[in-house]
Structure 1
């Protein structure tokens, strides 16, 4: 997946590739995005992870994460589907 940065430093991801990863049509993903159902976060690596970033996108009970290197190339990605409640994992 190609991940770029805009002049403000925001990450730009390809919608059609994201739709595929979430198992949705492009139209369905865009509908979820318009409704604010897709939540994203970016974490910046420190210490031994300096220079990396982790991009996470959540939609319902699905969480897609990608670890990027210094050049914003995907080094690893993972899709997690949470069972049961869609509010996310709970720590005990």
Structure 2
């Protein structure tokens, strides 16, 4: 997977690569992204993890995470399923 940064330092990932990881076609992935169904976070490593970043992208109950080294190369990645939260009734 190719990961780049724009001039502001934001990560740029290819939609086709992400679609594959989520088991979707590129068109389906783009539609979900345009509807605002994709959430992402970036965590910067500290202490012994300094120089690394963890990217997390969530779509529905699926969560893809990648750990990047100091040169933005993928060191590891995983896809997991997130358990839904139970609704509490008043």
Structure 2's unaligned 5+ residue stretches are 86-90
Question: Hey, what does 1:74 align to over in structure 2?
Answer: 74
C-alpha separation in 2, matches of 1:78 and 1:25: 19
Q: Which has the larger radius of gyration?
A: 2
Question: Hey, what does 2:61 align to over in structure 1?
Answer: 61
Question: Hey, what does 1:31 align to over in structure 2?
Answer: 31
Question: Hey, what does 2:3 align to over in structure 1?
Answer: 3
C-alpha separation in 1, matches of 2:49 and 2:26: 33
C-alpha separation in 1, matches of 2:25 and 2:49: 34
Q: Shift in Å at residue 82 of structure 1?
A: 2.8
TM-score, normalising length: structure 2: 0.91
Question: Hey, what does 1:49 align to over in structure 2?
Answer: 49
| Shift >3 Å, 4+ stretches | none
Q: Secondary structure at the match of 2:17?
A: helix
Tell me the C-alpha RMSD between the 2 structures: 0.9
Could you list the per-position Cα deviations for residues 53-83 of structure 1 after superposition, in whole angstroms to 9, with x for gaps in the alignment?
Answer: 0000000000000000000000000000135
Structure 1's unaligned 5+ residue stretches are 88-92
Could you list the per-position Cα deviations for residues 8-40 of structure 1 after superposition, in whole angstroms to 9, with x for gaps in the alignment?
Answer: 111000110100000000000000110100000
